[in-house]
Amino acid sequence: MLELLFLLLPIAAAYGWYMGQRNLRQKEQQQNKKLSHDYFTGLNFLLSNESDKAVDLFISMLDVDDDTIDTHLSLGSLFRKRGEVDRAIRIHQNLIARPHLPQDQQDLAMMELGKDYHAAGFYDRAEEIFLKLVSQEDHSEEAETLLIEIYQITKEWQKAIDVTRKLSRKRQQTLKPVIAHFYCELAQEQVDNDKKIKYLLQAVKQDSACGRAFITLARLYQQEGQLRQCKQVLLQLLNADVMLFTDALALAREVYIAEQDSEGFHDLLLQAIEKGAGASAVIALAQWLEEQGDIQHAEKLVLDTLYHHPTMKGFQHLMQIHLQQAEHGQAKQSLSLLAQLVEQQIKTRPSFRCKECGFPSHALYWHCPSCKHWGSISRIKGLDGE
């Protein structure tokens, strides 16, 4: 009998191990079934626009299984994209509050929380988080990019420049045109002209094609009575951004007249036309020729330009030339009325358009109000433009 008991012991042990494993599997299945049920319930809350109940349910589920952390990160991101930033913040704060969260997941949750604060307009809180994440290799580039965005919104241009200096050399090269605009913004904030010029020269150093810096420098030199320097900068502007030179035509005229250099102004306009400055430069040269008494040459210039590059501006100025030569009568009145109608048409059309998003505007913006690109808005070319 005793021998039989010894023989049954291994069987009893094996049976006990089997039953233990079976109970464990049953508990896991029940737990997974509960999680699955809770997730479907949470999704149903979301689809029913009961977001608060969904948030509460998903947060309570987090205490059950760490494997759901990625799901919660995605859920928080979804809420943020939907504009429900307060709920996204709750989810990400709850994640960060977990004491045993691995460091990599802690950093991911911090990054998402920083984005939440950014979206909510809590820029000081977002800045604090991103400054901490800059030192983390996996998040440094994204954190630096977001910091630059914040400093642009808060107009802390020097901080934005300081962040770009920490970027890789390749990234710095890509951002040079943007950094040039940051220096231009710093110059705009200054009261003293010498400080303004200092920052503008820094802008040119960053981007030798920064037309904004050149046109602002030209105006400052004119104000300071440094007309020779102004003329040099105008030439640099012509080579850097020929389309922006259109906005400096009135300034150029004043400077060259003050210097009694009408021939120099004539040559400058010819260069601008050759480089493709557009209808405004042609009209400026035609007006200069009219002032010299050479109306026939002015008319021929406008006609030739219209033949190759027809524009409403050129057509309107051609009518003005004809009005000067027309005799009083019905024909002159009709021509005058037509010129006025064309002028009104020109005024209603936008003069500028963003090259990135197509945003139309009657005024020149250095920072596109629509897509937030720097230096992307330029004068429109074609029939309604230059």
In this prediction, residue 17 carries a pLDDT of: 54
In this prediction, residue 189 carries a pLDDT of: 95
**Under CATH, what is the fold of the domain 349-386?**
Rubrerythrin, domain 2 (2.20.28)
In this prediction, residue 62 carries a pLDDT of: 54
In this prediction, residue 35 carries a pLDDT of: 46
In this prediction, residue 4 carries a pLDDT of: 47
In this prediction, residue 97 carries a pLDDT of: 83
pTM, to two decimals: 0.79
Task: List the chain residues with pLDDT less than 50.
Answer: 1-2, 4-8, 12, 15, 31-36, 64
**Under CATH, what is the fold of the domain 51-154?**
1.25.40
In this prediction, residue 171 carries a pLDDT of: 87
Question: With pLDDT > 90 as the criterion, what percentage of the chain qualifies?
Answer: 48
Residue 143 tokens read as: 């954190």
In this prediction, residue 347 carries a pLDDT of: 86
Number of Cβ atoms within 10 Å of the Cβ of 232: 15
- Give the separation between CA 207 and CA 83, rounded to whole angstroms: 37
Burial 182-220 (b: 16+ CB within 10 A, else e): bbbbbbeeeeeeeebbebbebbbebbebbbbbbbbbbeb
What's the CA dihedral at 209, 213, 214, 216 to 10 degrees? 160
What tens digit of pLDDT does each residue of 248-280 get?
Answer: 999 999 999 999 998 999 999 999 999 988 899
In this prediction, residue 333 carries a pLDDT of: 78
**Under CATH, what is the fold of the domain 169-277?**
1.25.40
Give me the residue label for tokens 């006025």. 340
Triad 88, 94, 95: Cα angle to 5°:
95
